[in-house]
Structure 1
Amino acid sequence: MPADPHLPVAHLRPPRNWINDPNGLAFHHGHYHVCFQHNPYGPEHANMHWGHFRSPDLITWEELPLALTPTPGGEDADGCFSGNAISDGDRMVAFYSAFRTDRWAQPVTTAESRDNGVTWTPRGSLLIPELPAGATMYRDPYVWREAGRWRMLVGSAQAGGRAAALLYESGDLEQWKYRGLFLDRAPQPVAPGADTGLGWECPQYLHADGRGALLLGAWDPELGPRRTVVYPGREQAGRFLAGNPVPLDHGPDFYAPALLPAPDGRWLLWGWSWEARDPKWVRESGWAGLLTMPREVTLAEDGSVRQRPAAELLALRDERAVTATGETAGTAVLGTVGPSFDLTARLEPRSAGSAGTAGRLRLVTSADGTEYLDIRIDAAAGELVVDRDHASLDPRAHGGTYRVPCPEASAVSGAPVELRLVVDRSVAELYLPSGRALTLRFYPTGGAPWRIEAHAGGEGSLGYTVGAWNLRPYTMRYTADSNTQSALPDAGLVRP
C-alpha cells in the first residue's frame, strides 16, 4: 500500500485513526510525556481514550500503550476527555474529564502511573463530585503547583451567557477547595467575525514574574470548538485581572493548546491541528488530526504570548536545499524542496507604492504551477496573508485566506519582513519575529519536489534572502501491543 503523501513525518500522531486535544503533558524521570485525545478504532471523534508518546529529547519518540481507557459502567464509561498531568515524586497523576452520556457535565477524575507512564491505574470515582452553582458547562482540568500549593482551573460556561475559568486549590491533590471564578466574561471580539465564545474549554495558565496569560478554547453550544484566545493580565487575590483578548494562533486549523513546563525553565506548547478536508476524504485516508510541533512560549513585557519552534527542532534539518539571495522585478525561482521542510526568509519590498501586494513567497506543488500556497505582503494593512485557495487541486480540500499582523509589512515601515515557515506534507506553521504564529492545513496533489518562488508586487521589486532545509522525520518507535497499531504489519518497528 503506498504511503499517504499527507501523513506528516515530523508532527506527533499515530499512523492511523483520530486524534484531537493534546493532554497529559509532563516532564517526568527524564522524559517528555505527550498524551492526546484518541479514538483507536477509527478516524472519527468517538471512543475517547488517551494515546501516549514520550521522548528524552523531543526528537526521538516512543509510543506507549494507551494511557487512559474508558471503564465500562464507570464514571468515564463513555470517554476519557481532556485534562493534564503532573509529576509528583515517583508518580504521574493525570486529571481528566469523565464523560458519560447520561449527564451534561464532565466532572474531574484522576489516574496515576508509577512506572513512567507505561501503565495507569484509574481512580474509579470522581475527584470533585459536586459542581459549583451556575455552571452550564464544566470540563478540562488544568493542574499546576505554585507557592507550595496545588491549583486547578476548570473550563465552564455560566448561566447568563458568560464563559468562565473556575479556580480550585489543594494541599495534597486529594481535597480540593473551590475558590471561585478565576475569570469570567461575556463574548468579546478578537478578530473580524470572531469572539471569545459562550463557554471556555481547555484552560491553560502561562505565568512568570507577576505577569500571566490565560489560554482558553472558545466554545459555542451549536458550533462546538472555534478558536484559542489569550487574555493577558495578572492575578490578584485569586482573580485574574485581564486585558483585551487576542487570538493565540491566527490560522484556521489550531485549537486546544496545552502547556508543559520543561526542566530548564522553558514553557513548551503543543496544539491540535484539525483536518481541513471533507469527512469522506478523511474516512478514506483512515486518519484525522495531528499535534503541532512543540513551541517555546514566553511572556513579553507587554503581556503578549510569543511563540517559536522549540530549539531542539533544528536537529531535524537535513541538507540545505535552498540558498538564495537576490532581487526580482518579476518572478524568481529559488530552488526546490521536499514535502517536509523548514524555511527562513527575509523579504524587502522595494516600491514607491503603498497599496496592494508588495511581494510574495510562493510554494508551488504542481509541475504546471497551478497548485500553490501563497504568503503575500499586504503593505496597506501591515499584514502577511496566507492564501490556500489554490493549494490543492482536489475540490474536497478547504480554501481561504488568513491574515497575521506584521507591522514590518506596512508600506510606511520600510523594514524587511522576516519569517520562518515549517511545512510537513499537509500542515504549515508560520512564525514571525514578533512571536505571532499561524497554522493551517493544505493537501497538495502534485508530487515532490516542490518549487519555492519569489514574486515582486506591482511595479516594484522584491529583495530576498531565503534558506530552506529538508526535514528529517522524527524517529518513532511504535508499541507492538498498542491498540493504535495492532492492525499494522510493521507494528513495533522503528520508522526512520
Structure 2
Amino acid sequence: MSTPDPHLPTIHLRPPRNWINDPNGLTFHDGHYHVFFQHNPHGPDHTGIHWGHHRSADLVTWEELPVALAPTPGGDDADGCFSGNAVSAGDRMLAFYSAYRTDRWWQPIATAESRDSGLTWHKHPGLVIPTPPEGTSMYRDPYVWRQGDRWRMLVGASLTGERGAALLYESPDLADWWYRGPFFADVPHAGGWTGWECPQYATFGDRGVLVVSLWDAVAGPRSTRVYVGGEQDGRFTPAGHRPLDHGPDFYAPALLHAPDGRWLLWGWSWEARDRQWSREAGWAGVLTVPRELSLAEDGTVHQAPAAEVLGYRGRKVVHATDWSTAADLGPVGTAFDLTARVRPRSDAPCGVRLETGDGEHLDIVVDPVAGELVVDRDHASLDPRARPGRYRVPLSARSDSVDFRVIVDGSIVELFLDSGEALTLRCYPTGPAPWRLRTFGGPDHIVDVWELDAGGRRTAVDHDELHTKAS
C-alpha cells in the first residue's frame, strides 16, 4: 500500500494526477459552476494540453467530468488546446480557446460547443479569428463576456515596442467578430515583461477591473497585475496598477460572474520545486480556492476566500488568546484554515510559526516598523529542490491590529489580509506530519484553527447560511 503524498492538496481543485495549469472557461450554466483548466492527462509536464473539467452546484461538492477539449492531430490545435474561456448562451455552452501549433508564433482563436451541459463537446470548423492584427508580436488567450446587447472579447497580446496589451473584439452573435483596437496597452517596461496573457475584465457599475498576467519572452510567466479604471468608446483608462497577489506562486487567474452578482476568481499555483521531484510525485500544479473579488470605494481591489470555502471547515483544533511571548499551540494537521488577530505591543515583530519535528518552519510575521507582513519559507523544507524566499504584503496604517486568514492544504498556502491583499506560495516540508503551531511576540492576540475536511466535497452546504457565518 502506497504512502499518501503529504504535499498533495485535498480540497483544492486539481485532477488526481498529472499536470494542471491555467483555469479556463469559468461559467455558470444549467445550475452548475463549471471550472475548466489546462491539463495534460498523460503526465506531470506542460505538453499535449487538453481542457480538464470539474463542475459543482455549490462550490463545495465537485464532480470531475470527462476531458472537454483535446488536440486534433493535424488540426489547428494539433499541439494543444490552450487558454481561453466559456460562456453560457441559452441551451449551449461555447468555449473560446487558443489553438496552439509549434509552427506559428500566434495562437488563433478557435471555438467548441456543448449542448449537454458540458459532458460532450464539438469543435466548430475553421477559426473564429485566424490571424492577429498588424503590429502584434504575441497573441493568445481570449476572454469573452456579455455586455448589454453585444458580446465582447479580449485577447492577450504584445504590440510593437514590447507593450503589453489587451485587444478588443465585439460580436452580435458569438460567430462574427470585428476588431475594435487595443482596449488598453501599457507603456514599455524595461526588464519587466514583453506581453500579456489571460486578460480578464470585471465591471463594478461604471468602473472596471482589468486583470492581466505578465509574460516575458525569455523568462516566461512572471506575475499578475490588476488595473482599475473606466471605459469610454472601447478604450480602458486606468488610474494605475498593482500586484493582484503578492506571492511567488500565483498566475493566470480567471474570473466568473456568479448568478448572485459576485465576481469569483480562481488562479493557478505552480510548483515551487525541482521538476524531477514533480515527475517522481506524478503531479504538478493546483488551482487556488475560489476567491471573491470586490472593489472598494477608494478603488482598492479586495480578495477573500469565497464564503463557500467555510464548508470545508471541520473540527476546531485551536482557540488561543492572550498567549505568552512564545506559546506552543499544538498540532494542526496538514490541511487547515487559520484566522488570527495580531496586535503588536511594541516595535518587535510578532506572528505565528508552522513547524515540523525536524526543525523546518514557515513564518508569518507582522513587522510594525516596516509596515508589512512577511511570509518566510527559507526554512520550510530540508529538501534543496524546494525554492526558498521571503515575501511581503503591505499593511494598512488605519488599525492597531492585523487580521489575516491562512488556508494551508498540503503544499499550498494562501494568505488573506482583512485589507483585501492576498499572497500565495508553495512549500514542501519533509519532516513528519502534521504541522505544529507556535506563536511569538507577546499577548493580546487571537488565533483559531479548523481542520479542513476533504469529506466536505460530499456535503451540500446552504449558501445563505455560509454568508451569515462569514459576516
What are the equivalent positions in structure 2 for 1:392-411 lying under 5 Å apart? Answer: 392-408=381-397
The AA in structure 1 aligned to 2:22 is D
The runs of 5 or more residues in structure 2 that have no matched partner are 459-471
Say if 2:351 is the partner of 1:367. Answer: no
Distance in structure 1 (CA, Å) of the matches to 2:92 and 2:180:
27
**What is the aligned partner in structure 2 of residue 221 from structure 1?**
217
Whether the 8 Å CA contact 1:359–1:462 is kept in 2: the answer is: no
Moved beyond 6 Å, runs of 4+: none
Deviates more, 1:14-23 or 1:447-456: 447-456
The 1-side partners of 2:453 and 2:399 are apart by: 36
Residue 83 (structure 2) pairs with residue 82 (structure 1): yes
Structure-1 residue corresponding to 2:467: none
Instruction: Name the CA distance, whole Å, in 1 between partners of 2:62 and 2:350.
Output: 39
Aligned partners of 1:432, 1:476: CA distance in 2, in Å? 26
Deviates more, 1:201-210 or 1:123-132: 123-132
Q: Do 1:75 and 1:124's aligned partners in 2 also have CA atoms closer than 8 Å?
A: no
Alpha-carbon displacement from aligned partner over 1:174-232 (angstroms, at most 9, x marks no partner) = 1101000100012459xxxx84x210000000111101111001010111110000111
Match of 2:341 among 346, 356, 370: 346
For residues 387-443 of structure 1, give each alpha carbon's deviation from its aligned partner in whole angstroms, at most 9, with x where no partner exists.
0001111111111000011125xxxx6611110000001000000111110000001
**Counterpart secondary structure, 1:21:** strand
8 Å contact from structure 1 (residues 156, 165) kept in 2: yes
Q: Tell me, yes or no, if structure 1 residue 290 matches structure 2 residue 289.
A: no
For residues 3-47 of structure 1, give each alpha carbon's deviation from its aligned partner in whole angstroms, at most 9, with x where no partner exists.
Answer: 111100010001111110000110000111000000111111000
Out of 320, 324, 340, the position equivalent to 1:324 is 320
Instruction: Specify the code of the residue in structure 1 equivalent to 2:381.
Output: S
Cα contact 2:292–2:305 (8 A) shared by 1 = yes
Contact 1:342 1:422 in 2 (8 A): yes
Pairs within 5 Å for 1:243-392: 243-328=239-324, 330-351=325-346, 353=347, 357-364=348-355, 366-368=356-358, 370-392=359-381
Which residue is 1:160 aligned to?
161
Query: 3-state DSSP class of the match of 2:431?
Result: coil
For these two proteins, the number of residue pairs brought into alignment is 457
2: CA distance, partners of 1:224 / 1:339: 31
CA distance in structure 2 between the aligned counterparts of 1:243 and 1:65, rounded to whole angstroms: 43
Q: If the length of structure 1 is used for normalisation, what is the TM-score?
A: 0.90
CA RMSD of aligned residues (A): 1.4
Letter in 1 for 2:65: L
Is 1:203 equivalent to 2:193 in the alignment?
Answer: no
Tell me the equivalent position of 2:405. Answer: 420
Counterpart in the other structure of 1:450: 435
CA shift, 1:449, in A, is 2.9
* Contact persistence 1:272–1:290 (CA under 8 A): yes
Please state how far the C-alpha of 1:476 moved relative to its aligned partner.
6.0
Deviations 1:347-377 (A, max 9, x none): 11112x3xxx42121111x225x11110011
Q: Which residue of 1 aligns with 2:30?
A: 29
Note if 1:103 corresponds to 2:104.
yes
Aligned match for 1:237, one of 211, 216, 233: 233
| Conservation of the 8 A alpha-carbon contact between 2:11 and 2:457 | no
Tell whether the 8 Å contact from 1:230 to 1:245 is kept in structure 2 after alignment. yes
Compared CA separation, residues 414 and 101, structure 1 to 2 (3 A)? closer
Contact 2:20 2:37 in 1 (8 A): yes
Deviates more, 1:287-296 or 1:155-164: 155-164
Deviation at 1:474, TM superposition (A): 5.7
1:144 aligned residue: 145
Structure 1 residue corresponding to 2:420, chosen from 420, 435, 445:
435
CA distance in 1, matches of 2:339, 2:353: 13
Letter in 1 for 2:30: H
1:64 is paired with a residue whose SS is: strand
